[in-house]
Amino acid sequence: MHDLLTVEEDKVAAQQGWVLTHVYDMAVNQWVIRILPVAVVPQVVALAKTGNALALKALRILTHGPEGKK
């Protein structure tokens, strides 16, 4: 859906109540990647701590950018 996760991963994330997407940040005048809604970020972090592959991937993309892009 947003070209950050696979279609299947987007579906799983949506079932969990979140999405990984590009958002325009007016504070820095550029596009950034965010987990939305912001209120579920702690849940995604908690899932990552349990080893959830999708949550780990989402956090990796947040911190390092999409794979293959520099």
DSSP secondary structure, the chain, as one string? --SSS-HHHHHHHHHHT-EEEEEEETTTTEEEEEEESGGGHHHHHHHHHTT-HHHHHHHHHHHH-STT--
pLDDT in tens, 5-63: 999 999 999 999 999 999 999 999 999 999 999 999 999 999 999 999 999 999 999 99
Predicted structure pTM score: 0.86
Give the Cα separation of 62 and 35 in Å (integer).
Answer: 8
